[in-house]
Amino acid sequence: MTNIINGKEFAASLRAKVKVYVDEITKKENVTPGLAVILVGEDPASQVYVRNKGKQTIEAGMNSYEHKLDASTSRETLLNLVKKLNADDNVHGILCQLPLPDHLNEEEVINSIDPKKDVDGFHISNVGLLNTGQKSMVPCTPLGCLLLLKDRLGSLSGKNAVIIGRSNIVGKPMASLLLKESCTVTIAHSRTKNIEELCSTADILVAAVGRPEMVNKNWVKEGAIVIDVGINRIKKTVDGEEKNVLVGDVNFAAVKEIAGGITPVPGGVGPMTIACLLANTVTSCYRSRGLSDPEF
């Protein structure tokens, strides 16, 4: 088996599973899962993400509701929109694309979303539920990483996991999920001492810091599974020509020589994030009808 973990392929099969669950609930309960995405302003990267989310939502047989608001949108207008979507029975998932313009308070907006419809898993209630091992909405990127890890390793019990990065979106929820799987978990960050040495003890290494190609071969134990969450656009000389390229937080060419499994960038964790968003939306729809959770 190749040691390259093909997230693109895995995400496609996850989306196919999502579609089966969508078709089933549409037929049985006469309800189509719906995802509402709010985009405030014109950040180019956010526009691309939102377009892809909408496209894949429709391809999975779900309803997509896009709300594009002007960058100067007031707090009241945005909170009123969330309130309307919270009350709308056709909407099972609500996602407000981050970052928001500076005059809007991200925490306030996230926490105004009905936790049951919070398919990002960022609401403080979902953070608390996840951290206490209860049923919650799980943030999409860490969920995608977990599915890839379980597919490779089966049981994760007793593994040493090191996560580089302590963000609320990836590092912290990833730690909760791996702890729930009975891993021994360490979070490393910019102040961690002897970070190379620490990382080289890991059976599972998750890099989520946003530092291009920071993780090198000497950071990785032979046979370790390396999950690269980084997406960094850098200028690089390829065949004597300077090009804009996408790289992860891991030096892929070097680390793939030693890792038991490694996700590439692009084509690794990235495609899993939207697939998990679709999965969360379907899960929310099933829960809204009192049905047991789909199994992904």
Active site amino acids = 53, 97, 120
Provide the token pair at 129. Answer: 């539920």
Distance (Å, rounded) from C-alpha 68 to C-alpha 40? Answer: 6
Stretch that binds ligand GUN, among 22-30, 91-99, 199-207, 260-268 (CB under 6 A): 91-99
Instruction: Give the Cβ contact number of residue 82 at 10 Å.
Output: 21
263-290 b/e with 16+ CB inside 10 Å = b? bbbebbbbbbbbbbbbbbbbbbbbbbee
Beta bridge partners of 186: 162
* Of the candidate residues 22, 96, 202, 272, the single one contacting ligand GUN (CB under 6 A): 96
* Of the candidate residues 79, 98, 246, 291, the single one contacting ligand GUN (CB under 6 A): 98
- Name the closest residue to ligand GUN (Cβ): 98
DSSP secondary-structure letter at 155?
Answer: -
Stretch that binds ligand GUN, among 90-98, 172-180, 263-271, 288-296 (CB under 6 A): 90-98
80: Cα separation from own chain's centroid: 27
Name the residue nearer to ligand GUN (CB basis): 142 or 294: 142
Q: Residue type at 140? A: C
> Shortest Cβ distance from residue 119 to ligand GUN (Å)?
9
Tell which positions 109-128 bind ligand GUN, by CB under 6 A: 120
Stretch that binds ligand GUN, among 25-33, 93-101, 149-157, 285-293 (CB under 6 A): 93-101
The closest of 210, 113, 116, 218 to 171, measured between CA atoms, is 210
Name the residue nearer to ligand GUN (CB basis): 91 or 140: 140
Stretch that binds ligand GUN, among 9-17, 74-82, 92-100, 249-257 (CB under 6 A): 92-100
> Shortest Cβ distance from residue 28 to ligand GUN (Å)?
30
DSSP string, 268-280: SSHHHHHHHHHHH
> Shortest Cβ distance from residue 256 to ligand GUN (Å)?
26
DSSP string, 157-223: TT-EEEEE---TTTHHHHHHHHHHTT-EEEEE-TT-TTHHHHHTT-SEEEE-S--TT-B-GGGS-TT
Distance (Å, rounded) from C-alpha 14 to C-alpha 9? Answer: 9
Provide the token pair at 213. Answer: 């190609």
Tell which positions 214-253 bind ligand GUN, by CB under 6 A: none
- The 124-163 site mask, x for binding ligand GUN (CB under 6 A), equals ----------------x-----------------------
What is the total count of residues that contact ligand GUN (CB under 6 A)?
6
Name the residue nearer to ligand GUN (CB basis): 120 or 203: 120
> Shortest Cβ distance from residue 197 to ligand GUN (Å)?
31
> Shortest Cβ distance from residue 21 to ligand GUN (Å)?
21
> Shortest Cβ distance from residue 172 to ligand GUN (Å)?
14
* Crossing angle between the packed helical segments 7-29 and 44-59, to the nearest 10 degrees: 50
Residues that bind ligand GUN (CB under 6 A): 95-98, 120, 140
